[in-house]
Amino acid sequence: MVIVTKTDATQADIDAVVKRIESVGLKAQISTGERHTVIGVIGDKTLLGDIPIESMSGVDRTMPITAPFKLASREFKDEPTVIAVNDTKIGGRQVPVIAGPCAVESTEQIVTIARLVQKSGASFIRGGAFKPRTGPYSFQGYGEDALKMLQDAKDETGLGIVTEVMTPHEVELVGEYTDMFQLGTRNMTNFYLLREVGRAQKPVILKRGMSATIEEWLLAAEYILAEGNPDVILCERGIRTFETHTRNTLDLNAVPVIHELSHLPIVVDPSHGTGIRSLVCDMTKASVAAGADGILLEVHHDPDHSMTGDGAQSLFPDQFEALMQELKPIAIAVGREM
């Protein structure tokens, strides 16, 4: 950390800051510029804890030098993390696809869609049992019944299950069915939930908060890692900007950025990242080309009768099938396989 003092900071101010730093076993290194004195803090900055340096007299601001996440960082572990689920590896050469409807609506629906996406090459079936909805009057999911329907789809097809968990006390229940937990964008800062899935023994797909910086997202991952669960998969799903034509702005920059900062795999969800069916295929291709370690897609065989408004972004099964073929040469072009 570097501490920048105010132009009118006194020597006593600076001495007090230095003393504070040294009191926790760190070293201070002073650079005297023409206007500002800059104090470098040398050593393990966790020793600083929550000391509010910025509120000390004479201090203008502090600037971090090292990232605040550790277990999630490349510096902690340089080798990419590869997460094996059933026979699928996420984070390796393969680019697996997780596909399915927004919500599980019936056994027939989820089994039908599972068969269709499996035929086209998906590795996981996804579908919401517990649905986070902006308003209280929207369909909130069928809960445990839906989990059982997902189990039926798995039994029929062998596909792994991905489904969302929304609150700490349901982690155990959802964990009895799912192969990977999904944490939704609205729960990226639900810290109790992060800790609870951190204690579970299953991989976690952690969606980026819709206005989370990449650093905050990695800190949310750090909550899970710090509890002992090493299998975190980040998921870019679009961020909130001023643009209103699309539902979200898919931030594909995040894919190479995460690969630089972290060893964790990153998958992309172009369905939520655009919110518009006609944009999904192009953006899926872009995601694979950018280096995504996996793809999440909404697919519905009958979106006009789906139970959530997200039908408008679901691919039809034949679109999905064609897309899966079109992705192959792109994956190969970037050294991957589908």
- Residues 47-76 touching a copy of itself, rule: CB under 8 A, are 49-50, 52, 54-57, 63, 65-66, 68-69, 75
CB of 159 to a copy of itself, least distance (A): 24
**Residue 328 buriedness (CB in 10 A; 0-12 / 13-18 / 19+):** middle
CB of 96 to a copy of itself, least distance (A): 18
CB of 111 to a copy of itself, least distance (A): 21
Cβ atoms 2, 61 nearer than 8 A: no
The binder of a copy of itself chosen from 2, 24, 82, 173 (CB under 8 A):
2
Element (H, E) at 207: strand 204-207
Cα gap 111→44, rounded to integer Å: 53
Question: Helix 107-120 crosses helix 144-157 at what angle (to 10 degrees)?
Answer: 40
Give 117 or 159: the residue with its C-beta nearer to a copy of itself.
117
Give 82 or 286: the residue with its C-beta nearer to a copy of itself.
286
Cα gap 199→175, rounded to integer Å: 11
Cα gap 10→240, rounded to integer Å: 43
74-93 footprint of a copy of itself as x/- string (CB under 8 A): -x------------------
CB of 47 to a copy of itself, least distance (A): 11
Decide if residue 216 touches a copy of itself (CB under 8 A).
yes
Size of the site for a copy of itself (CB under 8 A): 107
CB of 276 to a copy of itself, least distance (A): 8
DSSP 41-104: EES-GGGGTT--GGGSTTEEEEE-SS-S--TTBTTT--SPP-EEETTEEESSSB--EEEE-SB-
Site for a copy of itself, residues 141 to 180, rule: CB under 8 A: 166-169
Site for a copy of itself, residues 5 to 24, rule: CB under 8 A: 7
Output the CA angle 302-284-116, nearest 5 degrees: 35
Site for a copy of itself, residues 229 to 288, rule: CB under 8 A: 239-246, 249-253, 255-257, 260, 273-274, 277-279, 282-283, 285-288
Cβ atoms 285, 292 nearer than 8 A: no
The binder of a copy of itself chosen from 211, 228, 318, 337 (CB under 8 A):
211
Site for a copy of itself, residues 285 to 314, rule: CB under 8 A: 285-291, 303-314
Cα gap 73→285, rounded to integer Å: 27
**C-alpha distance from residue 276 to each of 84, 155, 230, 251 (Å):** 31, 31, 34, 16
CB of 90 to a copy of itself, least distance (A): 19
Bridge partner residues of 101 (DSSP)? none
118-147 footprint of a copy of itself as x/- string (CB under 8 A): --------------xxxxxxxx--------
